[in-house]
Structure 1
Amino acid sequence: MKRYSNPAARAWRRILAALCAVACLFTVAACGSGNEAGKIRIGIKFDQPGVGFKKSGTYVGFDVDVARYIAEKLGYSDDQIVFKEAPSKQREAMLQNGDVDMIVASYSITDERKKAVSFAGPYFVAGQDLMVRQNDHEINGVQDLDGKRLCSVTGSTSAEVVKQRFASKVQLMEQPGYAECATALFSGIVDAVTTDDIILAGLASNARGKLRLIGKPFTQEYYGVGVKKGNTALAHRIDRAIADMEQDGSWQRAIANNTRGVKYKPNPKFNPPTPDLGRTGASQ
């Protein structure tokens, strides 16, 4: 079939494409594809009870509450949020590829990660801790780890800490998610699970008394909201939202609601943290 050229139509298509490209620089998710157009796409964890958890088609947890609060401050209603699973080892790629607009997924701010993405926050300071079976009293802190088997998640900061500080003392099993680590602990394959205390508090709460948090954190992990490298304008807007959440009491309520039934309180020396409201491009 013969096709006829229409230079005017082609010109209009180029102009519209250019306008959409420019609009995407100034808005979040303005040029999304399909049913994501006009929505904000947020990466969260799906397997961390109390932090980021997918349950019967709904999303719950402290990070989810933070993400919803930020989205509302950015002008999005709850039905304009698209939550996407953000496994630890895929977070940088998801931001770089434009799969999500931001990531709120127990994402520790590190110098190495800053090379690939920018961060807003911090919005929480966790501490790496240990979780054991309720009736196991052999492990009461890092001093008792000699010869023990630990589980953590591939690509997580916690796994890297174990490799750097305890490699000669412990056997580390890396799993794709914390549900697998909890299963390994229940079944006796490992002696403890190690990651950030708020994640362990959520897992222990979900285990209904079968697991317990040691409560002796040995690091400080500054949780940030990951955005695409260089998007400091969005990072600054997120910082303002985090500051508002801490000031109006929503932050404190989110912590309490998501760690019920567990003796857990964030370290008051570091929490709630102050986001970098005066950030510049150089700080990212």
Structure 2
Amino acid sequence: MAGRRRPGRFGRRCAAAIAVLALAGSLAACGATPAYVGAPDGPTIAIGVAVDEPGVGWWHDGRFSGFDVTVARYVADALGYADKQIVFTPVTPQTASGLLGQGRADLLVSALPVGESGRFVDARDAGNGTGNDAGDEAGNRSGSVSASTAGPESDVPEDVRDGAEDAGSYLVAPQQLLVHRDDVRTMASMGSLAGKVVCTVLGSGGAAALTKALPGVVVRPRPSYPQCLTALMVGEADAVSADGAVLAGLARGYGGDYLGIVRRPLASVAHGVRVKAGNARLARKVNEALRAMRRDGSWARAVRTLEEETGYRVEAGLNGVG
């Protein structure tokens, strides 16, 4: 019986892998794509966002969308910039500090490693949240992991840690595993993960958190999430690790019915805003905007959209809501 199922499963995985490969090819051109559609009107603000995270930071059909992008637009508006004055540019953990240091971005709005010289200033205590309950037991038990706790084997580049100043976080999500749906139950136990190959994105800090939480796993970083997904689909990796919001978007956007998330939390990941190191004035203004987003209900509306588009349920305990 197992022999009969395997070809069908293999065929489905191949079909899904082809779809992911096609997507990866289209996203590879993102660096060459215009960072905005149409000509900006007046002074501009350049904002780095992810482009390969459906529902979170996503470039698709000629436009940027997702939870991070919604936050970026809100912050830009609070700083006095209209939509036509925003220049979005693709960012990855590897390119983050370069964008700020070289003046190609004024803000980074994404899930990025927490620096050794500081940590995200929480904006979550300033307003009421969504009132959601945590989706599982993960919420209150997840521990925050930063480059300072990751130790000397951290995969966060030194210039990423030192070249940016944290202006505030707007979402905290548990780091989890994305696997083939058939493997969700078996990979939920610690013992079953020994020797498994887990793909993370280079520079994200995910590798250090994984080796700390799961000493027996083999971590193989790749440059992007589409590449990690391809590795998962073709059998070069057993799982992909990122925060739950990103994984939910990847599963729904790329994986269809083939992928599922192991809900057990491994660490916590903060989505936040960063500015160039030394720009404390801008950092304060951004933090004020994030607090205002909580107070006026805009954050709660953005969370509902995130949940509708990805199926991810924001952890109440991690985000000060309830």
Q: So what's the TM-score if we normalise by structure 2?
A: 0.69
What's the offset of the Cα at 1:36?
8.8
Match of 1:236 among 267, 284, 307: 284
The Cα offsets for residues 3-29 of structure 1, whole Å up to 9 and x where unpaired, read as xxxxxxxxxxxxxxxxxxxxxxxxxxx
What's the offset of the Cα at 1:194?
0.5
Q: Structure 2 regions of 5+ residues with no counterpart?
A: 1-38, 118-159
CA contact (8 A) 2:55 2:310 kept: no
Matched, 1:202 2:249: yes
SS of alignment partner, residue 84 of structure 2: helix
The residue aligned with 1:121 is: 168
- Runs in 1 of length 4+ with deviation above 4 angstroms? 34-37
The residue aligned with 1:130 is: 177
Match of 1:161 among 200, 204, 209: 209
What's the offset of the Cα at 1:242?
0.7
The residue aligned with 1:220 is: 268
Distance in 1 (CA, whole Å) between partners of 2:262 and 2:309 is 15
1:236-275 equivalences under 5 Å are 236-260=284-308, 263-272=311-320
SS of alignment partner, residue 290 of structure 2: helix
CA contact (8 A) 1:109 1:224 kept: no
Which moved further from structure 2: 80-89 or 113-122?
113-122
Which moved further from structure 2: 236-245 or 140-149?
140-149
Higher normalized helix content (fraction of residues): 2
The Cα offsets for residues 7-59 of structure 1, whole Å up to 9 and x where unpaired, read as xxxxxxxxxxxxxxxxxxxxxxxxxxx96961110001111112111102101
Matched, 1:81 2:129: no
SS of alignment partner, residue 65 of structure 1: helix
CA RMSD of aligned residues (A): 2.2
SS of alignment partner, residue 88 of structure 2: strand
Match of 1:104 among 86, 91, 109: 109
Equivalent position amino acid for 2:44 in 1: K
CA contact (8 A) 1:202 1:259 kept: no
Structure having greater relative contact order (Cα 8 Å, sep ≥ 6) = 2
Distance in 1 (CA, whole Å) between partners of 2:271 and 2:306 is 17
SS of alignment partner, residue 251 of structure 1: helix
What's the offset of the Cα at 1:165?
4.6
What's the offset of the Cα at 1:185?
1.5
The Cα offsets for residues 122-160 of structure 1, whole Å up to 9 and x where unpaired, read as 211122111111122321154431011111101111122
The residue aligned with 2:219 is: 172
Distance in 1 (CA, whole Å) between partners of 2:190 and 2:74 is 36
The residue aligned with 2:50 is: 45
The residue aligned with 2:68 is: 63
Q: Structure 1 regions of 5+ residues with no counterpart?
A: 1-33, 274-284
The residue aligned with 1:15 is: none
Distance in 2 (CA, whole Å) between partners of 1:53 and 1:111 is 28
Distance in 2 (CA, whole Å) between partners of 1:120 and 1:259 is 25
The residue aligned with 1:16 is: none
CA contact (8 A) 2:40 2:86 kept: no
Equivalent position amino acid for 1:202 in 2: G
The residue aligned with 1:94 is: 99
What's the offset of the Cα at 1:241?
1.0
Larger Rg: 1
Match of 1:183 among 209, 212, 230: 230
SS of alignment partner, residue 43 of structure 2: coil
What's the offset of the Cα at 1:191?
1.0
Distance in 1 (CA, whole Å) between partners of 2:282 and 2:189 is 40
Which moved further from structure 2: 254-263 or 224-233?
254-263
What's the offset of the Cα at 1:62?
0.8
State percent identity of aligned pairs: 35
Shift in alpha-carbon separation, 1:142–1:125, aligned structure 2, 3 A: farther
CA contact (8 A) 2:164 2:274 kept: yes
Equivalent position amino acid for 2:176 in 1: D
The Cα offsets for residues 231-279 of structure 1, whole Å up to 9 and x where unpaired, read as 1111111111111111222212222212336553222112158xxxxxx
Equivalent position amino acid for 1:119 in 2: D
CA contact (8 A) 1:109 1:223 kept: no
SS of alignment partner, residue 305 of structure 2: helix
Distance in 1 (CA, whole Å) between partners of 2:313 and 2:280 is 31
